[in-house]
Structure 1
Amino acid sequence: MFKKGTKLYSILTGSCPKCHQESMYTNKNAYAISETLKINERCSHCGTKYRIEPSFFYGAMYVSYAVGVAFAVAAFIISYVFFETSLKVTFISIVGTLVVFMPVIMRLSRNIWINFFMHYDKDIIKK
């Protein structure tokens, strides 16, 4: 399920969507805030250009909204349903979750967005 060659692998690891051989990001740590969204220009293994056009990743904002809602719903369910906290505490846990996971949400959104347009090519590794 999380093996190389699957979209899920590329999305969760932030690896090149074409060859899955290297990270798209200059720094693998999403919490290095100044470098959270800095991506390499091209993949050093297969030469895939990550920025297809100048404002390519603007579309990731729409994906980010959906991913943020998913994180917020998860925080709500864990806080309100499992721990049976008050609505005030639940709200604080949702906001805290979104703030803490903001770099992860931004990267996941970019990974999902680029994987809409690029697909794994097993033959590219042999070249």
Structure 2
Amino acid sequence: MYKSCEACGYVFEREPGFFFGAMYVSYSLAVAELVALLVVVKFILGFGNIVLVISVAILAFLLSTFNFRVSRSLWMYFFERKSI
């Protein structure tokens, strides 16, 4: 990640521990994505448990970077709201 935002100059380096809450947001995003995948693979498509485990592992790996960045952004917006 960049040290600061190129557009607005927001400094991403906050006090130690500021982004620990983003880990909980990332965990929530991952659980929601993987439960949605479970419903699709198991109940809608009707595949077995082996296909389910493999697809969950692949999706979790592929979305890890996305979840990292989105969860940090959501955590920042939660605390740094600015009125226009």
When normalised by structure 2's length, the TM-score is 0.82
Match of 2:81 in 1: 119
The residue matched to 2:14 in structure 1 has which SS?
coil
Given candidates 11, 25, 30, the residue that maps to 1:63 is: 25
The separation in 2 between residues aligned to 1:108 and 1:46, in whole angstroms, is 18
Q: Any residues of structure 2 matched to 1:26-41 within 5 Å, and which?
A: 38-41=1-4
Which protein has the bigger helix share? 2
Q: Stretches of 4+ moved more than 2 A in 1?
A: 43-52
- Deviations for 1:39-86, whole angstroms, at most 9, x for unmatched residues? 232x44443333331332222111111111011111111211221101
Where in structure 2 are there 5+ consecutive unaligned residues? none
Aligned-pair RMSD on alpha carbons? 1.8
Match of 1:83 in 2: 45
The separation in 2 between residues aligned to 1:59 and 1:111, in whole angstroms, is 11
Match of 1:48 in 2: 10
When normalised by structure 1's length, the TM-score is 0.57
